[in-house]
Amino acid sequence: MGDLQKIVREQIEILRPDSETIKSLHKISKEFISKIGKEIKRLKVDADVFVGGSFAKGTLLKSGNYDVDIFVRFDSKYESLSEMLEKIVVPVVKKLGMKLEKVHGSRDYFRVLIENTTGYFEVIPVMKIKKPREERNVTDLTYFHGPYVKKRISGLEDQVRVTKQFLKSCEVYGAETYVRGFSGYSVELLILKYKSFVKMLRELVKVTSGKRIVIDLAKHYSNPKEVFIQLNESKIHSPVILIDPTYKERNALAALSQETFSKFQKSVSDFLKNPSASFFEKKNVDISSVRIKFKSKGYDFVSIHLDTDKQPGDIAGTKLKKFFDLLLRELEEYFVIKDHYFRYNGEVRGIAYIVAKAKKEIVRIGPPIEMKYAVKHFKERHAITFIKGKYIHAHLPVAVSLKAFLDSWVSGSRDKMKQMHIENIKVED
């Protein structure tokens, strides 16, 4: 068993960017923002520009591919912020000879490769608002989040870094729909609450399944009961309700699902019992080993590759995850799901596996017993029937393998796959 605090200290040294890199990024960012500002002025657009995200707050992780978030904040009189941003960014990038990529999302934004580096700027349009409740998109709130964290995070930056890396390694970092995990802002708020990575783990691992805890840093509410009374039901489903200190009506962890939180708690429990640097390393799931492990125990196992025709990023990942969730729901009538795993690879593919056991039988409900003709036909189609209440029922054996079931389902669901933007699926046992 490793020394917990020693491992955390070692990780902090590994994850902290060197001062020269930070200095260089500041210089490059300042120059780029200056050019964006001049273009805004030249076009007479009512907007301003600011740096946000981890870089602005000093919580950036050491990386071989740094990203700097730059926000262009437009007056609310503009309707299509993405179109306005394009008019500003494209001329600047052309003049600088940089490479530009348009990324589709709830609002399209731009990724600009930083010259002579492996890093990039993400230039994001937001709307200028005076109060958080005026937001039309969650990114509009960034203007309030940055200053709040930056004012309070001094001395805790390393705790944020080590937390982010741990969450990334157990694949629960990100509020995207295909992850439904912890956002960067929520991590910063949690560290402001608990003051350390280890204490945060020890507190959150205690949260029992089906229970919800409330964290209210700014004390917007007098007690947790008031939160459940005043907040909209859709905002309080997450196992951890983290009241945004800059906006009392928002749960900063509303995206966190119970499934993702349980996965996080399992990793936390394992780490606290047996601390190791491996918990901070990117996991490469060995599907062949998983297959051997479960098949040796008599379980049915399939690995799945899914491809979408949607643009890489949040949209592609979400489409793939939604389709995988549909597969699980379809299987649940006939199989007991023992384990499942999904990972979006960052391009157009999702990699997954499902471990299951076929149910011995399922019960199919037939027509009401007073419908004599329909009951007669139901009995002809099913060997074992019985009456329960006012309906006839049938026992149906499940005599099909997991792969055979999925092959049959996929064959008959091509239209549904097309509607869900699934271009290809490969199922292997």
| Of 193, 159, 176, the residue nearest 58 (C-alpha) | 159
What percent of the chain stands above pLDDT 70? 99
Strands 300-308 vs 422-428: parallel, antiparallel or unpaired? antiparallel
Question: Helix, strand or coil for residue 386?
Answer: strand
Q: Map tokens 């902090």 to a residue.
A: 12
404-424 pLDDT tens trace: 889 988 888 888 899 999 999
Return the bridge partners of 336, or none. Answer: 357
Token couple for 119: 């890093």
> What's the rounded Cα separation, in Å, for the pair 416 and 327?
12
With 0-12 CB in 10 A as exposed, 13-18 as middle and 19+ as buried, what is 137? Answer: middle
In the prediction, which pLDDT does 21 show? 87
In the prediction, which pLDDT does 363 show? 81
Second-level CATH architecture of 361-397: 2-Layer Sandwich (3.30)
Question: Helix, strand or coil for residue 103?
Answer: strand
139 within 8 A of 71, measured Cβ to Cβ: yes
Task: Enter the pTM of the model.
Answer: 0.84
Token couple for 259: 């499934």
Query: Residues spanned by CATH 1.10.1410.30 within the chain?
Result: 153-280
In the prediction, which pLDDT does 251 show? 95
263-282 pLDDT tens trace: 999 999 999 999 999 999 98
**Neighbouring residues of 127: CB distance < 8 A, sequence distance ≥ 6:** 73, 74, 75, 76, 78, 81, 135, 136, 137, 140
The yes or no reply on domain 287-360+399-428 and CATH 3.30.300.30 is: no
| The CATH fold of domain 153-280 | Poly(a)-polymerase, middle domain (1.10.1410)
3-state secondary structure the chain: CCCHHHHHHHHHHHHCCCHHHHHHHHHHHHHHHHHHHHHHHHCCCCEEEEEEHHHHHCCCCCCCCCEEEEEEEECCCCCCHHHHHHHHHHHHHHHHCCCEEEECCCCCEEEEECCCCCCEEEEEEEECCCCHHHCCCHHHHHHHHHHHHHHHCCCCHHHHHHHHHHHHHCCCECCCCCCCCECHHHHHHHHHHHCCHHHHHHHHCCCCCCCCEEECCCCCCCCHHHHHHHCCHHHCCCCEEEECCCCCCCECCCCCCHHHHHHHHHHHHHHHHCCCHHHHCCCCCCHHHHHHHHHCCCCEEEEEEEEECCCCCHHHHHHHHHHHHHHHHHHCCCEEEEEEEEEECCCCEEEEEEEEEECCEEEEEEEECCCHHHHHHHHHHCCEEEEECCEEEEEEECCCCHHHHHHHHHHCCHHHHHHCCEEEEEEEC
Class in CATH terms, 17-150:
alpha beta
> What's the rounded Cα separation, in Å, for the pair 53 and 68?
7
The residue ranges of the chain whose pLDDT is under 70 are: 1-2, 116-118, 399
Question: Helix, strand or coil for residue 153?
Answer: coil
In the prediction, which pLDDT does 334 show? 84
In the prediction, which pLDDT does 1 show? 46
Q: Report helix, strand and coil shares of the chain as percent, to nearest 5.
A: 45, 25, 35
| Of 217, 228, 149, 210, the residue nearest 183 (C-alpha) | 149
- The angle formed by the CA atoms of residues 304, 308 and 309, to the nearest 5 degrees, is 160
